[in-house]
Each structure stands twice: as C-alpha cells, then as structure tokens.
Structure 1
Amino acid sequence: MKVRIAIPSKGRISGPSVSLLEKAGIGLTDNSSRKLFSNTFDPEISVMFTRAADIPVYVADGAADIGITGFDLTQEKNVDVEFLDDLKFGATRLVVAAPENSDFNTVDDLKNVKIVATEFPHLTQKYFEEKNINATIMPLSGATEVAPLIGVADVIADLTSTGTTLKMNHLHEIDTIINSSVRLIANKESLKTKYEKIEAIRTGILGVLHAERKKLIMANVHKSNLDDIKSAMPGMSGPTVSEVYGDENMVAVHSVISETEVFETINKLRKIGAKDLLVLPIERILENK
C-alpha cells in the first residue's frame, strides 16, 4: 500500500523538509515547487506538496498518510492526528504583542483589549477565553503587524522566532500563547493499516536527526594506551576497538562524538599518542529501542 507524505510547497520549512527526506533515503524524482506530487526512489512512497497550513487537515482526512508541518498549524486547525516526532527545527512562538507606546504592557493589561488581529484565530480565541477576556478576534491572512498601527486592532497574535520583526514594527511581546516547532504527524487509521512502511519512513528521518552535529572519529593507538583512549573518546557507547592487520601492538579505535567535542577530543588523543586520526561526517544513526 502506497504511503503519501505531505510537505510544505514553499516557506521557511519547505527546503529543510525536502532535504530531510532526501538524507533519509527518500529521494524525490521531481521536487519542483510547481508540481503537486512527486514520486520517490521507493515506488511505495509519494510526496505531496501543499500549503503548510493545509497539511494537518489533509493528514486528518487521510488525503495524506503522514505530514511535516508546524505544531502551531496543527493546533490551529484543531484536528485529530497522531504526533509522531518533534523534528527539532523551525522553532517559533505564537505571541501576543502590542505597540510600544500603547497601554498594553502586561498580561493584566490585556483585560482592556477589544480587538485582536491574527492569522491564528482558533488559538488566539482559546487563549483569551482562558484569560476570561471578551475580545473580538479579527482573522487576517497576512501583514498582521500593521493592524495596531492603522488603528484596526489593539494588539496582535503573531508568530516570532527572534522578535526582530516585531521590534522593527515597534511592537513588544506581552505573552506567549504557544511554543512551536516542526512535527511529523500521521493519520491515525493509516498508522494501523500502513504501520510497517510509516515506521520505516519515521526511522529513516530520525536516523538523520540523530546524526546531526555528530562525527565519527577514528585513530590508531598502541594497546598499552587503551585505558587512556577510553576516557578520551567515550562517544555514544564507548569506543569500538579492532585489531590492525600487520601490527599486533596497535589497535584501531573509532567512536561517534558530538561535533562540539571534536577539537578537545583530537587534542587528547594526540597527547596519548594516537596516530592516523580521521574525522568523518555521519549521514544517519539508527538506534534499536
């Protein structure tokens, strides 16, 4: 049974989503943004390009079996899907923001808000209802930041990652409605009927994510230095040791370490007397649970 993956056709998470699939071994035969569908190197997997905001609906309805989209968008659509994994990119926040020179500076001040402009009416309505604030929610499809400046709303609820755009428009954050990142979601019925294939896709994607910022470090060392080597390069499960053909006194050791540990580890190994040091990139790490 064929599995269809929905990914964004454009926007900030489109490129990383395509790259993630390709690194996972799900090569797209045509990833043109003008195409609605693309086959992959696996005849049992196809990819559908669509708006990120529509992906939760398509997955919930079964038009797609799995999808890559923002947690914020899935919550906004209020659909029943299975959250498989946090893909750890595309971090953002949906925040309430107001003009810098306004009377809205704290959460308590929001009780005086009359109109809120946003591209996320469901989440925004829910937030203000939980605060017992009877505000009118004004849905907008873009350029939310301008609404308070032209006098059509008191505050806005908008996405931000660094806060730079808000500051450029002389707005300041008051509160966070929801924290978001990109998630892998699935249709609940598809998980039952196509579990094996979906799990294989998920495993491939997680393998790529686990390998990010990891390096394989290799070296030849004298057997008498093995204890020192173990403490110098513990890695994920400790170093792997194998014999060096032709020299019974030497062994080859290799281990997977964090990218941030490479500089320090190499210097430790050199002081111990390690030779022929290699540092290699890793495409995927598959873990058995």
Structure 2
Amino acid sequence: MSGALGLLTRSRLMSVSAEELGRQLLVERSGLRVILVRPADVPAYVDHGAADLGIVGKDILWESPGYHYELVDLCFGACRLVLAVPDASRLDGPETWPPLIRIATKYPRTATAWFEARGQAVEVVQLHGSVELAPQVGLVDGIVDLTATGRTLRENGLRVAGVLGASTARLIANQASLKTRTESVQSVVSKLREATGDDR
C-alpha cells in the first residue's frame, strides 16, 4: 500500500498517509475517490465498474485476467514468481523433475500454465498462506511463490529452481470508463504516468 500511496502523492492526485487512513476503506478528496481493497479483489472492482482505475501487482493479473485494460507499469513492488525447492532436493531444471511434480502455491492458474507449457504433469495444491512450510512437511515437492529478496525462502531451507515471471505494480482501467469518461480517466492516467517517469 505504501507504494500506491507514495505514487498518489508524487502525482499530486492525493496526499494521504497510511496513518491518516487508519481502517478507512474509502477516501474522497478533491473529486477523487480511493477505494482500499485486498490486492486480489482489485480486478473485480475495476472489471465490474466500481472503480475506474486500479493499482495491482502483475502477479494478481496472471491469476485474474479479467476484462480490463493494463495501462502502465508503475515500477514499484518488484518481485519474482519462482519455483522453489528444498535445499537438499535433487530437483533443479526440467530434466530432474519426476513424471508428476506436486507444487503448493497461491497461484494455481499461473503455476499450472507454466508447467504445462513445458510438457510437465503437475498436481497443484492451493494454499493461502505459509506456503514455505509445505515442502518441509512432505506435502509437496516444491512451491511457486513470490519473492523480492529470497530471504524467506532461505530462512525456510528453500532455493530457487526456476523463475516463472517478474511482477511489479500495474495500473488497470475499466474498459467502459476508459471510453465513456475519457477526459477524467486520462487525466489521472497521465499524472500517474508522469509520476513514474513513463512519458508516453
């Protein structure tokens, strides 16, 4: 959230801190309404017209392609979606994978597509938290999860065995809003682009 709030401040659209927000989920200032929702819910709010624009990680968009336009890479929140296996595992590249690999992840759609594109049979165990624990207790062969620095993986005896993709925050737009509220939406988009150094 700090990256998005910082971007709003730099773009001069709205200056608000996390402390000011407290537990508010809706903030209105200077004709701009900001809705605070869980990252995984942003595409739904934008796709269904409750919000004209949304700021969300690319990793969420991989899982929820939706009916929106992806407009700008906002260049913050950088991380990688990786395949990680226990340090002692023999699994490394595709040539070392068993006929059926079992993976735990919060990203089942993305993980399945990545393995299938490599001709690898995969069983995906969807978890919603503490994914790093799954290989330690023998639930799975490895995990697919986000990492920025790799520290959590290392602390849990895991190493990167593959990279599925890189994720940063993205600006998405409701298709109808972009067509019917063009001037006001494009004004916000332009200010956000300028604040990120994207001068298209």
Tell me the TM-score normalised to structure 1 length: 0.65
> Which structure ranks higher in relative contact order (CA pairs < 8 Å, sequence separation ≥ 6)?
2
Query: Which of 1 and 2 has greater Rg?
Result: 1
Secondary structure of the structure 2 residue equivalent to 1:135: strand
Counterpart Cα distance in 2 of 1:153 and 1:138: 8
The structural deviation recorded for 1:112 is 3.7
**Residue aligning to 2:138:** 151
Instruction: Specify the alignment match of 2:26 in structure 1.
Output: 37
Structure 1 unmatched ranges of 5 or more = 1-13, 211-285
Aligned to 1:133: 120
Return the offset for 1:110. 2.6
Q: How many residues align?
A: 198
- Aligned-partner Cα distance in 2 for 1:107–1:60: 37
Gapped regions of structure 2 (runs ≥ 5): none
Q: Deviations over 1:87-120 (max 9, x none)?
A: 1111111111100111212232234443110010
Match of 2:177 in 1: 190
Aligned to 1:90: 77
Residue in structure 1 matched with residue 95 of structure 2 by the alignment:
108
Measure, in 2, the Cα distance between the counterparts of 1:88 and 1:34.
26
1:195 Cα deviation from its structure 2 partner: 1.2
| C-alpha distance in structure 2 between counterparts of 1:175 and 1:124, whole Å | 11
8 A Cα contact 1:107 1:174, kept in partner: no
Q: How many angstroms apart in 1 are the aligned matches of 2:79 and 2:40?
A: 15
> Could you say if the C-alpha distance between residues 33 and 132 of structure 1 is closer, same or farther in structure 2, counting changes exceeding 3 Å?
farther
* Structure 1 residue 16, shift from structure 2 partner: 1.6
Root mean square deviation, CA, Å: 1.8
* Cα separation, partners in 2 of 1:25 and 1:96, compared to 1, 3 Å: same
2:44 alignment counterpart: 57
Question: What TM-score does the superposition give when structure 2 sets the normalisation length?
Answer: 0.92
Identity of aligned residues (%): 33
Check the 8 A contact 2:39/2:57 in 1, yes or no: yes
Secondary structure at 2:47's aligned position in 1? helix
